[in-house]
Amino acid sequence: MSTPKTKQSAAKREAWGRLRKLPSGRWQARYPGPDGKMHPARTDDDKSLTFLTKTDARTWLASVQTKIALGQWMPPAQLAARRREEAKADEARSIGFNEYSESWIEMIRTQPNRSGKKRAVGTVRAYKSKLTGYLMPEFGDTPIREIDKARIREMTDRLDQIPSPLNPRSKFNGITTPVLVVLMMILRQAVRDGIIPAAPDISIPKQPAVRHDADHDPNEDVASPEQVEELYEAMPDQWSIGVMFAAWCQLRRAECLGLQRRDIEWHDDGSATVHVRRQLNANTGDYTLLKSDAGKRSVSIPSIMIERLKVHLDTYVEPEAKAPILPTSVRGIVPLSNTRWGYIWGDAREAVAGLPLRFRFHDLRHTGLTLFAQEGATLAELMRRGGHSDMRIVLRYQHATMNRDRELAERMSERVAQRIAEAKNKAETALPDGEEYL
């Protein structure tokens, strides 16, 4: 009596691997991997794989055996993960400029910079204005990888043709360089993100001055003490003290507008000190921290403005400690805005004849630091009083310290020459020993 035949559902052993016919009529393949496990046939996306014919299944098994022999095999799940990463990288490499730049601006808004500090709102806003005003219209959805040196040169040539809003006669417009800076920041981040292998080799030119012509001497941006006094008198009384703080305490505009009553310290001898602790941010309209630790300083108030400051505080400033020194209204609690100050300053400047061309409110600070240097202040003293953190910026006042040095040297020379001459005259008029006048 013969034994009954079993169904053809059992796996068939091959020379290598196993095959099994499924109830659907398709064929399934399994094979031993180098990891010691049996693996069913899977697609490169790690999905189940069956075959229409037995021959197809055997052919597939042979290909897998070849990969194992060549050391090219990896577990299906691992292979699928790698393919997903590769696809993601390919998608990233094809990302358009607009899409990537929007993610970049969000990154710098929320993440700290290399020094661990969060970027100021004004800084982020300045970057974004370069993006929306120039870079996004220029590149649009152009893939990041297609922005090369030639394309950047085309954009640069177009930007260079824009006339300077400050000085139409200038060869530079103050636009090209900051736009290039932002573009290169984005492209270098794209390198770090693995989107492009390297940023284009672009040399960013130093930002030249655009407010004046190339032959302008910065030393000319200094008003005389008489002109400072005229500016003080030309300002409305409730805000004129701002001119004094800028010129004689060397404060920046935002620092002047950020002053509060509590920042003025009076001393027993009648002198006073102003403590610079905050600024009125031109972008947000709020009080914010100073840009650097060096900006946080205490400055002696010169006697030339002591009485004027007392009158100002008594007349225009609310008694409360946090009351703004320059309020919008008399004894108000809201500080005068940067924008409104600009209009007030513009009117006062027009009323004073003989000021240097395009004289800014900030130039009052330059005026005061120049005069301070002429009195013999060292560069370290200038840095402290002006709240500078970079020695290179203060070196612009070195001409004033050298002028003072020459003046002192000349006075020393005159005094020494006078002493020598007096000694010689005394020696020439003296009688020889033993002689007497008859």
pLDDT at residue 435 above 80? no
With a pLDDT cut of 70, the percent of the chain lying above it is 88
Model confidence over 182-200: pLDDT tens digits? 999 999 999 998 888 899 9
Confidence grade of residue 166 (pLDDT, cut at 50, 70, 90) = low
Name the residue among 346, 342, 363 with its Cα closest to residue 221: 363
Q: d(Cα 400, Cα 328) in Å, to the nearest integer? A: 37
Q: d(Cα 38, Cα 32) in Å, to the nearest integer? A: 4
Confidence grade of residue 295 (pLDDT, cut at 50, 70, 90) = very high
Q: Are 95 and 57 spatial neighbours (Cβ–Cβ below 8 Å)?
A: no
Q: d(Cα 258, Cα 326) in Å, to the nearest integer? A: 8
- First-to-last CA distance in the chain? 177
Residue 418 structure tokens: 């006078």
* Mean pLDDT computed over every residue of the chain: 87
**Can you tell me which residue has the tokens 């914010």?**
288
Q: Are 197 and 212 spatial neighbours (Cβ–Cβ below 8 Å)?
A: no
- What structural domains does the chain harbor? 12-79 (no CATH), 97-192 (1.10.150), 220-400 (1.10.443.10)
Name the residue among 189, 182, 93 with its Cα closest to residue 132: 182
The pTM (predicted TM-score) of the whole model is 0.58
